[in-house]
Structure 1
Amino acid sequence: MRKLAAFCFPLMLTAPLAAPLAADPLNEALTRAVNDHTVPAVDHFDVATALLADVAGDDCLPEAVKPAYNEAFDAWMGLQHLHMGPVEANGRILAIAFWPDKKGLIPRTLSGYIADEDPVIENPAEFATASIAVRGLFALEYMLYDAQFDGYAEDSYSCHLVQAISHDLHRMAAAIKSEWTAPDGFAQTLLLAGEAPHPLYLSKAESVQALYTMLTSSLEVTRDQRIGRPIGTFEKPRPTRAEAYRSERSQRNVELILMATRDLARKLAPGEMPLSEAAFEKTIALVEELDDPDFAGVEDPMGRLKVEIVGQNIDTILGHLANEVGAPLGVSAGFNASDGD
């Protein structure tokens, strides 16, 4: 290559400069989204859950575990919008975050395990096949924050259950990271698309569309579930339907998912997205101003209105993303399995 460059150089003095190769916005968007968004997200969740497992192993009592628990939940909010590949494999997404629990299965299942002192918690492989209602972040939230469960003593069955849940979360996070980032892992499945050894997406446009669907679906779920469930109706608000209200994470989770989806949108956008940026900034500011960690304020008409306005602004974000990200890339949101949850 060096000889060829030297040979051609004199010709370039008199001949017009050759036009640079045309950029491929679709491929560039895909590369940015996979390498700079998805890979850091799976890595962060792995690291945070490793810390959680270590902390719980050393001291299982709620006040010791809570900080690491919240770090792990923060990391999950940076990953949970990627309902695809290893995140969904083997039912992981529900085992990690079983919400909404519309029938109250989590407290009933936890109570049964504790009452029976079910020995399944002693074997990590067996616990990996246990009910999703006794695993994951929301089962752990009950154990750490709910008065029915959080009064346990060190070396009790409940203590060991907390340790089992924490280690199981890290086991799943480590598996997601391994399967996502391996040389033949899901990141390569997205990047190579139809050229992958075992293609899931037939073209890079399909890979980009899948990621764009994750982006829009997560915002829709936030509007309809994280916002819609607690606000209920004007006559009957339902604050205890808010996500993670026991640990006072309801407001924080909305803020974190907005930040995660904004980052994915930035990575996918083939150019500037000024209207989307402004809409994200406004919506995140509205969430920060709520000062309502568990969305208990929805019982007050003014508090309910403030939360409802956040949902309305998410609609605005979705409209701008369609024009500034989806349309320039030639993709639109497809079906996502989480849409009907």
Structure 2
Amino acid sequence: MMMTPFVRIPLSAFATSIVLFAGGGAYAGPQADAVARVVTQHAVPAVLDFSAQTKALEVAAKSDCTAGALAPAYNASFDAWMGLQHLNIGPVEADARGLTIAFWPDKKGMIPKALAALIADQDAAVADASEFAHVSIAARGLFALEFMIFDDTFNAYDQGSYSCELVQAITHDLAQTADHIAQEWTREDGFAATLTTAGAANNQRYLSETEAAQALYTMLLTGLENSAEQRIGRPLGSFEKPRPKRAEAYRSGRSARNVMLSVLAAREFAAAMAPETPQKTLEILDEVVTKLQDLDDPSFASVSDPFGRLKIEIIGQRIEAATDAIANDIGVPLGISAGFNASDGD
């Protein structure tokens, strides 16, 4: 089936149209203004950046698919994903795209099994994008690529090998998924419009400004909670049994960076959504970023050392403190609270 080519909308024009609607429509109010700011200043730039970076990764893989050559473009794509991953609604949520992009935590070790099976069988799906879109999600996305690029069991492949073709198939699939997300956010009747027309008669998803604002507010809080509970909590394990190899992206040395980028994304999100400068929220999130920069432990290996563990625990505690500040800086003045989130309990 032919896919509609993704036509990028200039961000400045897109932002202007949304702001004009929020400022002059019958449904404008503090909540609608907050939603419009998040869409134009945070969400749309994030989805466009992720699309651009994954396209560059695909191009890089076509030129030189070997692990060493591909690492920089891979890291740039993962950086871009961290600016978007917390927006797990709409186009990211559809068709389990978020899970396809980032299959983590992989509690049963499915990723290396799925990759090994494809390589052992020389599965022809790598030559057909429509077929590859139906392989196990464990063999797709950023974490499958992490194994192919950074794990010694998989990364010693040559240009032109089956593993090279597999890497190229993964990068193409990732770029396509990112383009679909960007297109569905930014087209005329896309998800950005759905959010910013909340309460309009023809909007069947968000029946009021409050619903749209609450959906975004929930994503903001959930993103921070996931960083504290999953990205930091999983490698911490218990004092008696720390689990450093449960850290997100430890093979590529991105564990601490992912937390930092997720916090920076939350900072940008909060600053856009708040009716006034969210001083306490920004202060705490800036403190977290400084602590992560000073940690000098990219993979959270120091959870096995009592002193290093304490530093990481404090970072998690400060992230949790930021959620309380957000409630006061954003939730109270906008009159909203967190609602149900599909990732609760994961």
Cα-to-partner distance string for 1:40-77 (whole Å, 9 max, x where unaligned): 00000000000000000111001111000000000000
**1:16 counterpart residue number:** none
Contact 1:189 1:196 survives alignment (8 Å)? no
Helix, strand or coil at the partner of 1:244? coil
Correspondence for 1:260 among 265, 287, 299: 265
Aligned residue identity for 2:306:
P
Larger Rg: 1
**1:271 counterpart residue number:** 276
Whether 2:230 is the aligned partner of 1:225: answer yes
Instruction: Report the CA distance between 1:24 and its aligned residue.
Output: 2.7
Instruction: Report the CA distance between 1:39 and its aligned residue.
Output: 0.5
Correspondence for 2:305 among 292, 300, 309: 300
Contact 2:61 2:70 survives alignment (8 Å)? yes
Whether 2:49 is the aligned partner of 1:44: answer yes
Q: Distance in 1 between matches of 2:288 and 2:161?
A: 44
Instruction: Report the CA distance between 1:339 and its aligned residue.
Output: 2.0
Aligned residue identity for 2:318:
N
Q: Distance in 1 between matches of 2:160 and 2:320?
A: 49
The aligned runs of 1:311-326 (5 Å cut-off) are: 311-326=316-331
Helix, strand or coil at the partner of 2:344? helix
Whether 2:261 is the aligned partner of 1:250: answer no
**2:92 counterpart residue number:** 87
Aligned residue identity for 1:189:
T
Instruction: Report the CA distance between 1:149 and its aligned residue.
Output: 0.1
Structure 2 residues without counterparts, runs of 5 or longer:
1-27
CA gap of 1:198–1:143, structure 2 versus 1, over 3 A, is same
Correspondence for 1:73 among 73, 78, 90: 78
Whether 2:141 is the aligned partner of 1:122: answer no
**2:182 counterpart residue number:** 177
Instruction: Report the CA distance between 1:196 and its aligned residue.
Output: 6.4
Share of identical aligned residues, percent? 55
TM-score by length of 2: 0.91
The aligned runs of 1:101-250 (5 Å cut-off) are: 101-195=106-200, 197-250=202-255
Cα-to-partner distance string for 1:289-321 (whole Å, 9 max, x where unaligned): 111001111111111111110011012101110
Contact 1:188 1:196 survives alignment (8 Å)? no
Helix, strand or coil at the partner of 1:338? coil
Contact 2:38 2:269 survives alignment (8 Å)? yes
Instruction: Report the CA distance between 1:88 and its aligned residue.
Output: 1.1
Helix, strand or coil at the partner of 2:117? helix
Instruction: Report the CA distance between 1:334 and its aligned residue.
Output: 1.0
Helix, strand or coil at the partner of 1:327? helix
Q: Distance in 2 between matches of 1:88 and 1:30?
A: 19
Give the length in aligned residue pairs. Answer: 320
CA gap of 1:64–1:313, structure 2 versus 1, over 3 A, is same
- Greater mean deviation of Cα atoms: 243-252 or 286-295: 286-295
- Greater mean deviation of Cα atoms: 121-130 or 47-56: 121-130
Q: Distance in 2 between matches of 1:106 and 1:325?
A: 39
Cα-to-partner distance string for 1:127-185 (whole Å, 9 max, x where unaligned): 11111010000000000000000001111110000000000000000000001000000
Aligned residue identity for 2:299:
D
Whether 2:38 is the aligned partner of 1:33: answer yes
**1:331 counterpart residue number:** 336
Q: RMSD across aligned C-alpha pairs, in angstroms?
A: 1.2
Instruction: Report the CA distance between 1:272 and its aligned residue.
Output: 2.1
TM-score by length of 1: 0.92
Q: Distance in 2 between matches of 1:339 and 1:289?
A: 31
Instruction: Report the CA distance between 1:198 and its aligned residue.
Output: 4.5
Aligned residue identity for 2:298:
P
Q: Distance in 2 between matches of 1:196 and 1:174?
A: 29
Contact 2:197 2:203 survives alignment (8 Å)? no
Aligned residue identity for 1:310:
I
Q: Distance in 2 between matches of 1:145 and 1:119?
A: 24
